[in-house]
Homo-oligomer: A and B are copies of this chain.
Amino acid sequence: MSDLSLDDDSGVINVGVDSFVGPLRDAGVDVTTVDWEPPGGVDASLRDEMAALGRYGGQIRDANDRAARRLVEARPVWRDVRTARAELPALDEMALCHSGPPVEWAEMSGPQRGAVIGAILYEGWADDETAAEDLAASGEVDFVPCHDQSAVGPMAGVISPSMPLAVVENEAHGNVAYSTLNEGLGEVLRFGAYTPAVIDHLEWMETDLAPVLSRALDAHGPVDLKRLSATALQMGDEVHNRNVAGTALLIRELAPTLASLDSAGSVSEVLSFLDDNEHFFLNLSMAACKSGADAAADVPWSTVLTAMARNGTEFGIRVSGLGDRWFTTPATVVDGLYFSDYSEADASPDVGDSSIAETTGVGGFAMAASPAITQFVGGHPQEALDYSREMYGITVTENENYALPALDFRGTPTGIDLTRVIETGVQPIINTGIAHREPGVGQIGAGVGRAPRACFLEAMRAFCAAYGDGEPPSEVAE
């Protein structure tokens, strides 16, 4: 678990902690030890604990290979569009899902509060903004992380019972993941806007968009999201913040079936909506990633991440070998490109589940696929290549299904290894949209952020504590 010699298959260069190498030496691997000081935040006690875990290096390595292989082998298909109430158990009650780790109304960020108000109005649980806020604060509404419901939502990530969800099945592992349908740009709920136009649009999505898409999928059969993502990565998308190709490829594939449905008027309206919304593929990509991440979860001994998610207040991660525990730290503001009239001072701290993309090896990790995105998130095309190259240093494997043309078709860096993040000091990068900090305003920019280190340190300590006795904790024991 401690070697940094990712590219050296003739042996292992061990950095610093001698006890890590025992199992490797025992296995006949040629090990070179060099001086190493762990990067910031690793105190003597954590260092000792990590060193003590070294004796289980082989187990951890095997577990990480297994978890990362699940990410690579996941085969997500878009199967249907169904109502959230029918699919997510938590939404049986008066409840709302939200992005990121758990959070209650009192601590919620502006955009998430705005989206909660909008969802309450959309559900008809309150008649106006004030009543909606009162209800949200009353404790009568349960707030549940999307991630706990096999779901993901971009930005505020609010899912209410009446919303249509994309149903994505991971055909390789049999699990299902969900996401909302992307609303488009402009004034939208996911950025915390809740004007009557936003609510009307959500209603159109429920009554017009969802049934047409559901009928089209029924007639067409499942849409292979893995193939679409792989192709989109050859076409300048990184399938997180740039989805022009994914969306166009999806339209191309569904258009013949859509045109054969007998409701020409609403089909044409649906195709216009898709044509106007270059991010439509984002939510499908997120559900596809989530279906892989859930398949990679709960692998005993694995230090591979299965979630990075933000609620605008906290940034949280989950680790495969630690089940569904969240490790959190305050979310920070993203340094990015701001739309005119806005600056970092207006920005909400980082928010949204869309970092499931990076968690599973695309998005920022696939920046090399997308030099054009630097015009949207800032930076120079060369940096897009550098970001991907850097991420190979903290990941377990390369996803050969997702080839990066500019890196000579090398597979995307996949499976973030908590241990490598701690050892190298390299924080995962995340491409993201930036919401205004006030409810109701919307998107004000986009940028490239880094996952904050503190929650990784906390997770590493928890991992050492959980596995220090040589046994997986009960929640992930096989």
Contacts and interface: CB of A to CB of B under 8 A. Distances in A.
Interface of A: 231, 234-237, 244-245, 247-249, 251-253, 255-262, 264-265, 267-269, 271-272, 274-275, 371-372, 374-375, 380-382, 405-409
Contact of A234 (B236, B271, B407): B236
Contacts of A259: 255, 258-259, 264, 267-268, 271
A315 B216 CA distance: 49
Contacts of A269: 256
A252 B261 CA distance: 17
Give the 3 A-B residue pairs with the shortest CB-CB distance, closest first.
A371-B405, A248-B248, A256-B271
A313 B371 CA distance: 40
Contacts of A261: 264
29 contacts: A231-B244, A234-B236, A235-B235, A235-B237, A235-B244, A235-B245, A236-B405, A245-B245, A248-B249, A248-B251, A248-B252, A251-B251, A252-B252, A252-B275, A255-B275, A256-B268, A256-B271, A256-B275, A257-B268, A259-B267, A259-B268, A259-B271, A260-B264, A260-B265, A261-B264, A372-B405, A375-B409, A380-B408, A381-B409
Nearest to A232: B235
A259 B267 CA distance: 7
A245 B261 CA distance: 26
Contacts of A251: 248, 251-252, 255
A372 B402 CA distance: 12
A344 to B, nearest CB: 25
Nearest to A247: B252
Contacts of A382: 408
Contacts of A258: 255, 259
A408 B372 CA distance: 9
A392 to B, nearest CB: 17
Contacts of A248: 245, 248-249, 251-252
Given A235-B245, A248-B248, A382-B408, 16 more contacts: A231-B244, A235-B237, A235-B244, A235-B372, A252-B274, A253-B275, A255-B255, A255-B275, A256-B271, A256-B272, A259-B268, A260-B265, A264-B264, A380-B408, A381-B405, A381-B407
Contacts of A375: 409
Contacts of A265: 260
Nearest to A380: B408
A237 B269 CA distance: 29
